[in-house]
Amino acid sequence: MTTPDNHWLTRPATIRRLWWIGSILLALTVALQWLIPIKGHFGVDGWFGFGAAFGFFSCVLMVFAAKLLGKLLKRPEDYYDV
């Protein structure tokens, strides 16, 4: 039986292995664009790696927007105290 401290997903070796596997899969996905040509509807969406770059920067933008929204909507700690 595994304890919460020794779960297979929390082990450093497993985390490192998952990062490597994920990075290789992402690189292969982008590299497949050499074999499968992408026809873009606009000029830039046909560039090599555009989908990966667009997805990454969109995600970064969403994180910053969520941080800003959190700052704007934050309530004081005692807001719900009666």
When pLDDT is cut at 50, 70 and 90, the band that residue 77 belongs to is confident
Question: Could you state, in order of their start, the residue ranges of all structural domains in the chain?
Answer: 4-73
Q: What is the pLDDT of residue 59?
A: 97
pTM over 0.85: no
Structure tokens at 78: 């005692």
Q: Is the model more confident about 63 or about 3?
A: 63
Say yes or no to pLDDT of 2 above 60.
Answer: no
Give every CB contact of residue 38 below 8 A, 6+ residues apart in sequence.
Answer: 45, 46, 50, 51
Model confidence over 40-68: pLDDT tens digits? 899 899 899 999 999 999 999 999 999 99
Dihedrals φ, ψ of 74, to 5°?
-65, 140
